[in-house]
Amino acid sequence: MSKATRDFIVGLFVLAGLASLAYLSLRVGGIESDGKGGLELSAEFAEIGGLKERAPVVVSGVKIGRVKRIELTPDLHAVVVLDVDSQYQLPVDSSAAIRTEGLLGQQFVALEPGAEDQLLKSGDRIAYTESALSIERLVGDFVHGNDLENEKSKE
């Protein structure tokens, strides 16, 4: 095998290897989804459930951003910082709710646009929030609620 042929094959090998890594990084890993953003909003919740960082932020079912950070205020309330695509205009009375995909899927933040003319700017806080629904608590309330009713009817 001549030197030129060998060099060519090595070049092909390196290109193929880099292409495979690029495919894994960009398509499979999803690095490109970090591109847009720019509108940073925060929202305070009593309960965030299983919400994780990088969870999607959704309006009418369409992803427009992701959860950037989850923090605790000094008086122990959860604050979720959202990174939303700046091309979308959200009125100041928009609301944020933590919902679950399906019944047991991953949790995400759903934004519902309000009706005011004034728009939210980067750094603003979303005033109206709805905390995560906890299925375990619902079941617990149901079970213990039943027990309470039974005890009351016995008296």
Partner 1 sequence: MMVRDAIERLGANTTSLVHELGRIAVFSAATAAGVARPAFWLLPRFVREIFDTGVLSLPIILLSGLTVGMVLGLQLFWVLTVFGAETSLGGVVGATLVRELGPVLTGLLVTGRAGSAMAAEIAVMNATEQLDGMKTMAMDPVRFVIGPKSLAMVFCMPLLNGLFICAALGGTWLIAVKLLGLDSGIFFQDLYDGVDWEKDVVGTMIKAIVFGALVALIATYRGFTSGRSAEEVSRATTSTVVTASVWILLADFVVTSLWKF
Query: What are the residues binding partner 1 (CB under 8 A)?
Result: 3, 6-7, 9-10, 13-14, 16-18, 20-21, 23-25, 27-31, 54
Provide the minimum distance between the beta carbon of 16 and partner 1 in the complex, in angstroms, as a whole number: 6
Provide the minimum distance between the beta carbon of 3 and partner 1 in the complex, in angstroms, as a whole number: 7
Q: Which is nearer to partner 1, 10 or 148 (CB)?
A: 10
Cα(142)–Cα(155) distance, rounded to whole angstroms? 20
Q: Which is nearer to partner 1, 9 or 148 (CB)?
A: 9
Provide the minimum distance between the beta carbon of 63 and partner 1 in the complex, in angstroms, as a whole number: 12
Cα(12)–Cα(4) distance, rounded to whole angstroms? 12
Q: Could you give the 3-state DSSP secondary structure of residue 57?
A: strand
Alpha helices in the chain, H assignment, sequence order: 3-23, 135-154
Cα(95)–Cα(78) distance, rounded to whole angstroms? 16
Q: Which is nearer to partner 1, 43 or 64 (CB)?
A: 64
Provide the minimum distance between the beta carbon of 149 and partner 1 in the complex, in angstroms, as a whole number: 35
Q: Which is nearer to partner 1, 13 or 128 (CB)?
A: 13
Cα(3)–Cα(120) distance, rounded to whole angstroms? 64
Name the residue among 71, 81, 88, 78 with its Cα closest to residue 42.
81
